[in-house]
Amino acid sequence: MRNIFSFLAAVALVGVVGSGCVGAQNKLGRGMSNMGEFARLGDMQRSMEQTALFETPGRHYSLGFVRGFTRSVARTGLGVYEVVTAPLPPYEPIWTNYLPPNCEYPAAYRPGLIADSMFSTDSNLGFSGGDVAPFIPGSRFKVFDLH
């Protein structure tokens, strides 16, 4: 009798934990993406670009850098928070009045997929298109512009 209650408790626990995992998965993925902001430097590039375009062009190296750095710190901290609290609700993006939920890139550049056989295979030519090194900030070289 005691084994049946243990088994039912285990099944109930798996059912509670296993149901509705999509929100936790999205929150964990969003948090991991945001934690890698300093490796990507997208907010810093975007802030410098937007400061140069919409404000005094000579201030984009100083003011744009400072704005981008603070946004990068905020995005990294938000990513750490979302990874730590991924199993707990709420699963919707928070703090969206300051940072958009997904990573930002400069308006002049949208990265594509890595040129790898996993994403776009071409067995006839032996190579495929895509970004060569999108993980390097400022890399905009593409083999082919197919995507």
Q: Is residue 9 part of a domain?
A: no
Domain shared by 94 and 65, yes or no: yes
Residue with tokens 């060569």: 132
Domain membership flag for residue 8 = no
59 and 117 in a single domain? The answer is: no
| CA angle (75 as vertex; 71, 77 as ends), nearest 5 | 115
Over residues 45-63, the pLDDT tens digits come to 889 888 888 887 778 788 9
The whole model's pTM is what?
0.66
pLDDT at position 28: 92
Phi, psi of 131 (to 5 degrees): -70, 140
Q: 78 with 35, same domain?
A: yes
Tokens 């603070």, residue located: 70
What is the domain extent for residue 137?
111-147
Q: Do 55 and 122 lie in a common domain?
A: no
| pLDDT tier at 23, thresholds 50, 70, 90 | confident
Based on the fold, state whether residues 96 and 129 are members of the same structural domain: no
Confidence at residue 67, expressed as pLDDT on a 0 to 100 scale: 92
For residue 31, give the amino acid letter: G
